Amino acid sequence: MIKALLFILWISFLSLPFMGIKGALFLLFGISFAYGIFLAVKKSSIIFKEVKMPGISYEPRILYIVIFIILLALPFGLKDYYLDVVILAGIYIILALGLSVVIGFCGLLNLGFAAFYAIGAYACALFMTKAGLGFWGALPLSILITMISGFILAFPALRLHGDYLAIVTLGFGEIVHLTLNNWDSLTHGPNGISGITVPFIFGFALGSLSHYYYIVLIFVLAAIFIVRRIYYSRTGRAWLAIREDETAAEAMGINTTKYKFLAFAFGAFWAGLAGALFASKMRFVSPESFTFMESVFVACMVILGGLGSIPGVIFGSLLLVVLPEALREFQLYRMLALGTGLVLMMVFRPQGLIKPKTTINHRGH
Amino acid sequence: MFFQQIINGLTVGGVYALIALGYTMVYGILELINFAHGEIYMLGAYLGIIFLGIFTAMGLTQYSLFLSLLLTFIFSVTFCSAYGFTIEKLAYKPLRKAPRLSPLISAIGVSIFLQNYVMLTQGATDKVFPHIMETTKIEFFNATMTALQVFIIVTSLLLMSLLHLYVMKTKTGKAMRAVAQDKVMASLLGINIDRIISVTFIIGSGLAAVAGLMVAMYYGLVNYYIGYIAGIKAFAAAVLGGIGSIPGAILGGFVLGIIESMGAGYLSSEYKDAYAFVILIIILLIKPRGLLGKSAKDS
Amino acid sequence: MILEVRNLTKAFGGLKPVEEVSFRVMHGVILSIIGPNGAGKTTLFNCLTGIYSPTKGHVLFEEKDVTGKKPYEVTAKGVARTFQNIRIFGSMSVLENVMIGQHTRSKEGFLSAVMKTAKFRREESEIKSKAYEYLEFIGIADYADADADSLPYGDQKRLEIARALATEPKILLLDEPAAGMNPQETIELMKLINRIKEWGKTVILIEHDMKVVMGISDRIIVLDHGVKIAEGTPKEIQNNPDVIEAYLGKEDIF
């Protein structure tokens, strides 16, 4: 109790130069008050503990069908603004799944993932505006180019370990960002590239929000499906083994270099896809969408949900896209909350919100 | 031109080196990239403006510029050290036994928090550091060197030497090296590891505060996001020299500063921030553990 | 003859943890490598399994030169190992640890996993059932679903053996398998190693526990300061003056 009060006093003191005397006093009393409420609730929560949540039993298959129907019906029930947020969340899910392969499965900390996202988006934008390709022609090419850049980074990066790898990927992200900002003749610098057209199917323009929603939905489902299948396969196991102990993995006969390359390329594949979708959804790309903060943001999605857990990644992406939108009135404070949330998360639940399941129904005999 | 770039490079390099020392010391002991370290530097720059403002309002600056500057330095360093100390206790200490990634994420969280904390309390616009030092210039070899540049280079060299002496000669310094070598052994020898880690954060943050203050004086402008770019560059400098090595951080800082100003002067200043990383990647390819890095540990 | 080591030397700068070591291993025997701490035993293992590339000399496996091959290539050829400090895949399940051992013995790749082809499913269930068999062989099948790092120490060591066996090796290298085990566990371990031998596998082990070494070895090699000082049957080794000297010489320090 006294320790806690001293702590609050200390924090308020630290804030003194930045918040002034009034602010520091406000902080002092504010936190003390909150702490008092916390203590009171803690005391009374003994009563709450007795009440247990009734267990809901359901068939997972039915749950999936219900979710699927809701997803299909979503554009009919949502205002454009919310649909926009959902589409963005979908693109982030694809992106975060890609990063999850690299960080969560293979254990390679990539702090420059936004670079791949950027390359995918810019490649798509350039193919469509300069080469006159349609979206469906530009999409595979953008993904290919992103994967190639994944290889180019993997060559030097995979000789390095741990934090060195992290810093080199971070550097790669910065280099790409600076290049986008300064290569005026190709990227139009900070002004970005506009005039990206909408996708067409059989001459039919898919320009409305709900069209985009369905396109993104299909890709999100495909991404979840494919990543999940790979996760529960020989390749996925090899990645996890590398994450857990690289030396032991190699002694088990896993060609670690090859599988790390594969993880980088597979991750880049999804980043390229997400980038292309982003470019055509926004119909505009500019460097400011692909900063280091973006890389960190995506990494947070992967880590918040639970490293190596696919439902966790989905949940993390939804949380980090939807929550800030929901808290728009408190917009000023949302980054503050994100930072605090990350620290609290690591201190109190470092494994993430959802613990990954490694094997499925292997009691099959 | 050449000498001018060297001078500019040494000035910026000294600042990078001071920040890099904090990274390298923490890494040496905790094997943690203290991502929030760049923000401490930013706090130092802001604190400088805030305290100098207070002293000016009190009339101290008009009375004695030297005294008020000295007090500004002391206050900023003290506060930054307190911040570093507190951050370690709150965000890193509970994670000592967690997987490698957890403290790094926590550090990123602290970094985001501090940036926004400063933005909210001090505003999102540039803050101006009062122009107080006379622009005495020294000229030689067609290059000019301002008094401020001399001050920055001398101060950083002085602090580095003091740090070197501290780590080499004092009991705590020796304990620090012991902990960096082998934590288990050090604790068996009766070294209080938690205390050593706290001391490391206090010293590292103090150095970053000085760096922040000097940069605020040098460029005259401060913003809440200066910590990020300076932080990653200083980290690049630490890695360049071989992270965990104190001479390495100093060398890395100066090398990076000079490369950067050379690149800006002779190639293109738009890509100024990219040179650091290109060089970093090239050096890591040739020497995966940095210029002065220890060789790989055998399993 | 399944393994031959010719004049193997590994140097780290001026240090030579292994120097001019030669020996041959016959098919289906248990060979122990003993020697005081720092004699170069684990370094020798690391050279045999490709973790280190030897400075000089050759390693021949089934008459083929495997010197300087990568660890995963050596494993694919049929040499598996355990580690002195446990290196299991901690947050994966026990069963999955063993399934990873099957990596080189399976081949289904990316596309078939996405399509979940019939072949893929067949291979997966084969991997699973084989992994189960290895767990049963070792005697920890009850823990198949548990997280590997939740197992007690002795079981983690046995899991490592199961995982190594799952690579279907011809030679199994065990680095101090009995270290940290209680007498009961040690006896079970000796039985296990004998069963692995009866299965037709060659076993090379590094071990400090002389009861284990003398109890199960067909042949023993003694290393001291990186040099082979003796080789022979347990009887011969026990009476070898050089060996006694090497061990006694060490004990003088204490």
Can you give the three-state secondary structure of chain B, one letter per residue? CHHHHHHHHHHHHHHHHHHHHHHHHHHHHHCCCCCCHHHHHHHHHHHHHHHHHHHHHHCHHHHCHHHHHHHHHHHHHHHHHHHHHHHHHHHHHHHCCCCCHHHHHHHHHHHHHHHHHHHHHHCCCCEECCCCCCCCEEEECCEEEEHHHHHHHHHHHHHHHHHHHHHHHCHHHHHHHHHHHCHHHHHHCCCCHHHHHHHHHHHHHHHHHHHHHHHHHHHCEECCCHHHHHHHHHHHHHHHHCCCCHHHHHHHHHHHHHHHHHHHHHHCHHHHHHHHHHHHHHHHHHCCCCCCCCCCCCC
Least reliable range by pLDDT among A333-337, B110-114, C226-230: A333-337
Q: How long a stretch of residues is chain B?
A: 299
Query: C68 and C182: one domain?
Result: yes
Nearest of A349, A310, A306, A305 to residue A323 by alpha carbon: A305
pTM of the entire predicted model: 0.84
CB pairs under 8 A between A and B: 142
Of A103, A178, A339, nearest to B109 by CB-CB distance is: A339
Q: Is B95 on the interface with A (CB under 8 A)?
A: yes
Whole-angstrom distance, CA of residue B199 vs CA of residue C79: 49
Task: With beta carbons under 8 A apart, name residues in chain A contacting C100.
Answer: 237-238, 240-241, 249, 252, 254
Residue A46 has pLDDT above 60, yes or no: no
What value does the mean pLDDT take over residues B86-111? 86
The shortest C-alpha distance from C236 to chain A (Å) reads 34
Is A311 in contact with A354 (CB distance < 8 Å)?
yes
Segments forming the whole domain that contains residue C139: 89-152
Between C251 and C238, residue with greater pLDDT: C238
Query: C56 and C181: one domain?
Result: yes
Share of chain A above pLDDT 90, in %: 35
Pairing of strands C30-34, C219-224: parallel
Q: Per the domain annotation, does C160 fall within a domain? A: no
CB pairs under 8 A between A and C: 118
Q: Between vectors from CA B14 to CA B10 and to CA B17, what angle results, nearest 5°?
A: 130
Least reliable range by pLDDT among A341-355, B16-30, B72-86: A341-355
Whole-angstrom distance, CA of residue B236 vs CA of residue A164: 10
pLDDT for res A338: 80
Query: C112 and C69: one domain?
Result: no
Residue A17 has pLDDT above 80, yes or no: yes
List, as ranges, residues 60-99 from A with C-beta within 8 Å of B.
Answer: none
Query: What residue of B is the nearest CA neighbor of A298?
Result: B105
Nearest of C17, C167, C40, C12 to residue C100 by alpha carbon: C167
φ, ψ at C240 (rounded to 5°): -80, 120
Whole-angstrom distance, CA of residue A29 vs CA of residue A339: 22
Query: C176 and C246: one domain?
Result: yes
What value does the mean pLDDT take over residues C185-197? 92
Q: For residue C6, what are the β-bridge partners?
A: C58
Q: Could you read off the pLDDT of C48-87 as tens digits, one per residue?
A: 999 999 999 999 999 899 998 999 999 999 999 999 888 9
pLDDT for res A161: 76
Task: Determine, for residues A109 and B104 on separate chains, whether the beta-carbon distance falls below 8 Å.
Answer: yes
Of B98, B120, B270, nearest to A182 by CB-CB distance is: B270
Task: With beta carbons under 8 A apart, name residues in chain A contacting C91.
Answer: 244, 358
pLDDT for res A59: 63
Position A56 confidence tier, pLDDT thresholds 50, 70, 90: low
Whole-angstrom distance, CA of residue B210 vs CA of residue B116: 22
pLDDT for res A234: 92
Q: Between vectors from CA A236 to CA A230 and to CA A241, what angle results, nearest 5°?
A: 175
- Reading the block at residue C192, the tokens are 């296990």
What value does the mean pLDDT take over residues C174-200? 91
User: What does the DSSP assignment read for chain C?
Assistant: --EEEEEEEEEETTEEEEEEEEEEE-TT-EEEEE-STTSSHHHHHHHHTTSS--SEEEEEETTEE-TT--HHHHHHHTEEE--SS----TTSBHHHHHHHHTGGG----HHHHHHT-HHHHHHHHHHHHHHHHHHHHHT-GGGTTSBGGGS-HHHHHHHHHHHHHTT--SEEEEESTTTT--HHHHHHHHHHHHHHHHTT-EEEEE---HHHHHHH-SEEEEEETTEEEEEE-HHHHHT-HHHHHHHHHHHTT-
Residue A48 has pLDDT above 60, yes or no: no
Query: C180 and C222: one domain?
Result: yes
**Mean pLDDT over all residues of chain A?**
84
Residue B294 has pLDDT above 60, yes or no: no
Residue B296 has pLDDT above 60, yes or no: no
What value does the mean pLDDT take over residues A193-208? 81
Task: Determine, for residues A163 and B243 on separate chains, whether the beta-carbon distance falls below 8 Å.
Answer: yes
Task: Determine, for residues B271 and A168 on separate chains, whether the beta-carbon distance falls below 8 Å.
Answer: no
Position A344 confidence tier, pLDDT thresholds 50, 70, 90: confident
Residue A363 has pLDDT above 60, yes or no: no
pLDDT for res C75: 93
Is B290 in contact with B240 (CB distance < 8 Å)?
yes
What value does the mean pLDDT take over residues B149-158? 89
Position B293 confidence tier, pLDDT thresholds 50, 70, 90: low
Neighbours of C (≥3 Cβ pairs closer than 8 A)? A
Residue in A101, A225, A229, A234 to test binding to C, most C beta-carbons within 10 Å: A234
Is C206 in contact with C175 (CB distance < 8 Å)?
yes
Query: Class assignment of domain B2-286?
Result: mainly alpha
Whole-angstrom distance, CA of residue C209 vs CA of residue C1: 27
Mark which of C126, C152, C178 sits at the end of a domain.
C152
Task: Determine, for residues C144 and A362 on separate chains, whether the beta-carbon distance falls below 8 Å.
Answer: yes
Nearest of A289, A307, A282 to residue A104 by alpha carbon: A307
Between A46 and B273, residue with greater pLDDT: B273
Query: C93 and C74: one domain?
Result: no
Task: With beta carbons under 8 A apart, name residues in chain B contacting A11.
Answer: 86
Least reliable range by pLDDT among A68-82, A170-184, C228-242: A68-82
Q: Could you read off the pLDDT of C123-176 as tens digits, one per residue?
A: 999 999 999 999 999 988 898 888 898 999 889 999 999 999 999 999 999 999
Task: With beta carbons under 8 A apart, name residues in chain B contacting A114.
Answer: none
Pairing of strands C202-206, C30-34: parallel
pLDDT for res A330: 72
Q: Is C137 on the interface with A (CB under 8 A)?
A: no
Mark which of C152, C184, C206 sits at the end of a domain.
C152
Task: Determine, for residues A255 and C72 on separate chains, whether the beta-carbon distance falls below 8 Å.
Answer: yes
Write down the architecture of domain A78-348 according to CATH. Orthogonal Bundle (1.10)
Whole-angstrom distance, CA of residue B19 vs CA of residue C13: 35
Residue C240 has pLDDT above 70, yes or no: yes
Share of chain A above pLDDT 70, in %: 91
Of C49, C96, C113, nearest to A233 by CB-CB distance is: C113
pLDDT for res B218: 87
Q: Per the domain annotation, does C38 fall within a domain? A: yes
Residue A364 has pLDDT above 90, yes or no: no
Residue in C100, C127, C128 to test binding to A, most A beta-carbons within 10 Å: C100
Query: C74 and C94: one domain?
Result: no
pLDDT for res A67: 84
Task: Determine, for residues C96 and A240 on separate chains, whether the beta-carbon distance falls below 8 Å.
Answer: yes
Query: C97 and C220: one domain?
Result: no
**Mean pLDDT over all residues of chain B?**
85
Report domain extents, chain A: 1-43, 78-348
CB atoms under 10 Å from CB of A15, counted, come to 17
Whole-angstrom distance, CA of residue A210 vs CA of residue C165: 55
Report domain extents, chain B: 2-286
- Reading the block at residue A346, the tokens are 């690591």
- Reading the block at residue B226, the tokens are 């200066």
Q: Is A365 on the interface with C (CB under 8 A)?
A: yes
Residue A248 has pLDDT above 60, yes or no: yes
Q: Could you read off the pLDDT of A295-304 as tens digits, one per residue?
A: 988 988 888 8
Residue A50 has pLDDT above 50, yes or no: no
Q: Per the domain annotation, does C224 fall within a domain? A: yes
Position A160 confidence tier, pLDDT thresholds 50, 70, 90: confident
Q: Is A230 on the interface with B (CB under 8 A)?
A: no
- Reading the block at residue A172, the tokens are 């790669």
Residue B145 has pLDDT above 90, yes or no: no
Q: Is C52 left (phi over 0), alpha (psi -120 to 50) or beta?
A: beta
Q: Per the domain annotation, does C163 fall within a domain? A: no
Of C81, C96, C127, nearest to A251 by CB-CB distance is: C81
CATH of the domain at C175: 3.40.50.300
Task: With beta carbons under 8 A apart, name residues in chain B contacting A164.
Answer: 239, 284, 288-289
Sheet containing C56-61: order of strands: C15-25, C3-12, C56-61, C64-65
Q: Between vectors from CA C51 to CA B238 and to CA C8, what angle results, nearest 5°?
A: 125
Query: What Å distances lie between residue C239 and A70, A137, C23, C43, C249, CA to CA?
Result: 80, 79, 20, 27, 16
**How large is the angle between the packed helices A2-50 and B37-58, nearest 10 degrees?**
130
Is C186 in contact with C118 (CB distance < 8 Å)?
no
Whole-angstrom distance, CA of residue A115 vs CA of residue A119: 6
Query: C43 and C103: one domain?
Result: no
Least reliable range by pLDDT among A22-26, A83-87, A353-357: A353-357
Q: Is A159 on the interface with B (CB under 8 A)?
A: yes
φ, ψ at A109 (rounded to 5°): -75, 110
Whole-angstrom distance, CA of residue A113 vs CA of residue A96: 9
Is C153 in contact with C135 (CB distance < 8 Å)?
no
pLDDT for res B242: 82
CB atoms under 10 Å from CB of B15, counted, come to 29
For chain C, the domain total comes to 2
The shortest C-alpha distance from A360 to chain C (Å) reads 10
Residue labelled with tokens 């070591």: C21
List, as ranges, residues 180-209 from A with C-beta within 8 Å of B.
Answer: 181-182
Position B6 confidence tier, pLDDT thresholds 50, 70, 90: confident
Q: Is A97 on the interface with C (CB under 8 A)?
A: no
Least reliable range by pLDDT among B10-19, B44-53, B179-188, B211-220: B179-188
Question: Chain-centre distance of CA A311, in angstroms?
Answer: 12
